[in-house]
Amino acid sequence: MRIGLFPGTFDPITLGHLDIIDRALPLFDKLYIGIGRNANKKPLFNEEDRLKWIRECYAHDNRIEALVYEGLTVDCCRKIGATFILRGIRYVNDFEYEKAIADMNRSIENGVESIFLTCSPQFTSVASTLVRDVFKNGGDVKQFIPPPVIKTLYPS
């Protein structure tokens, strides 16, 4: 069984994330979306909301499961039986950064491979950090986020 883990903070999950997930699905039998707890980052949105958003986005697909993990991504891979780590790439500098992490992960856990997918052109500038900044400053981010996030951030 081909099991993958797509790690990130997903603070919030964006249409760019969904683009990577949707295009990666044919590669896996099971794909976990892992919300990593990172001591260096202070998320704007709580874990419960982030999990709920992912689960609502993929309620129709039993191949996808969302979870929260702490510690090394490769340790999470071991726990869930994942042999692949999925990462999205927007720019060349993303690749350089992600390659260094992939090399380190492979050194720690030889049985885990990283797979990089470039984002579709329309999502190149969609980053959770930018979406958070726009939202915190009163801007409208609806065009960058999926309906479950819109429903929470802009209740009618």
Phi-psi region of 82 (alpha: psi -120 to 50; beta: other; left: phi over 0): beta
- Per the residue annotation, which of 41, 78, 136, 151 is the catalytic one? 41
99 flagged as catalytic: no
CB-CB neighbours of 131 under 10 Å: 24
Would residue 17 show up in a list of annotated catalytic residues for this protein? yes
Give the C-alpha separation, 59 to 128, whole Å: 22
Return d(Cα 54, Cα 33) in angstroms, integer.
Answer: 8
Contact 102, 111 (CB under 8 A): no
Among this protein's residues, is 156 annotated catalytic? no
Which is the catalytic residue, given 55, 90, 99, 106?
Answer: 90
Tokens encoding 98: 């992600």
- Output the CA angle 49-50-54, nearest 5 degrees: 115
Q: How far is CA 96 from CA 55, 92, 101, 148, in A?
A: 31, 7, 9, 32
Positions annotated as catalytic residues are: 17, 41, 90, 128
